[in-house]
Amino acid sequence: MTETLLEVRDLRLALDGQTILQGLNLTVLRGEVHALVGPNGAGKSSLAYALMGLSGYEPEGGTIRFAGQSLAGLSVHERARLGLSLAWQEPARFEGLSVRDFLSAGAAEPGEDILRGTLAEVALDPDLYLGRLVDKGLSGGERKRIELASILVMKPRMIVADEPDSGIDVDALSRMFDMFAALRAQRTTVLLVTHSAEVMKHADRATLVCCGQTVEEGPAGRIRRYFTDRCVPCPHHDPRRREDA
C-alpha cells in the first residue's frame, strides 16, 4: 500500500504583491524520488521555501500536510524536527566552522565513523575535508555536497533538493543520484526541485508546474516527455514574471 507523506492542496502564495502560486497541488509518496519540474519562473523554489516555512513565504491559502500533520504555524525548526529538510540551491557559508563541527551539530547519531561515511556518500574524501573550514575556501559544489551531508546525518524523513545538479561536476552528480537511490531503498523520500529533464530520469514520479499551477502529475517518464516535448520553451511562461526557479 502506498502512503502519502507530503500533501499540498490548493496552495496560494504572493510575494511583493505578485501572485506566485495559484492553487498548486502536490502529492509525494513515502519512499519515492519525486521530481517537481517546470521552467524558470514556475514557482518551484517558492513552493520549496513555503514547505519549509521560511519567512516571507507564508501561504495565503491552501494546506500543507506532512506525515498526516498540518504544517500551518510551524517554524522551520519544528518542521525539521518532523523530518523535513531542505538542501538549498545556493548553500550558505558558515565562516570559521569546521566541516566536522558543522556535520556534528545536527547529527542524529554521534561518532566520527558516521561523519566519515556520510562525506564519502557525497563523494568527498573525509581525510581531506573533515578538518577544513566551511567558508569561501570551498567551491560552490563542495559547499553544496557538505550541506547535503549535513542533512543526511540528520536522518530526515524527506529531503527537498533544490536544483541538485547546480554547481557540481558530472562524477559528483552521478554519486549523488546513487545516494538518492540508496535513500529510496531505506524509505527516505526525496523531492527533486528541477528544470532538468536529465535529473528527472532518476525520479519515480513527477509533478509538472507552470505559472504557479499544477499541470500534470504521474510517472516520471511520462511527465518528462510532456515537459520536453510540450513545455520547452513553455508557451505560457511570461518573462516578466519573477525569476523563481
Question: For position 236, what pLDDT does the model report?
Answer: 53
Q: Is-above-0.85 flag for pTM?
A: no
Question: In this prediction, what percent of the chain has a pLDDT beyond 90?
Answer: 47
Q: Per-residue pLDDT tens for 75-110?
A: 988 998 899 988 755 445 556 789 998 888 878 888
Alpha-carbon distance of 36 to 33, in angstroms, equals: 10
Alpha-carbon distance of 81 to 157, in angstroms, equals: 10
Q: Per-residue pLDDT tens for 181-210?
A: 888 888 889 999 998 888 899 999 999 999
> What is the CATH code of the structural domain delimited by 1-83+156-245?
3.40.50.300
Alpha-carbon distance of 196 to 190, in angstroms, equals: 16
Q: Share the mean pLDDT of the chain.
A: 85
β-pairing, 33-37 vs 205-210, is parallel
When mean pLDDT is compared across 1-15, 43-57, 102-116, 225-239, the lowest value belongs to 225-239
Domain ranges within the chain, ordered by starting residue: 1-83+156-245, 93-154
Alpha-carbon distance of 22 to 25, in angstroms, equals: 9
Per-residue pLDDT band at 240 (split at 50, 70, 90): very low
Maximal C-alpha separation, the chain: 52
When mean pLDDT is compared across 7-11, 12-16, 94-98, 225-229, the lowest value belongs to 94-98
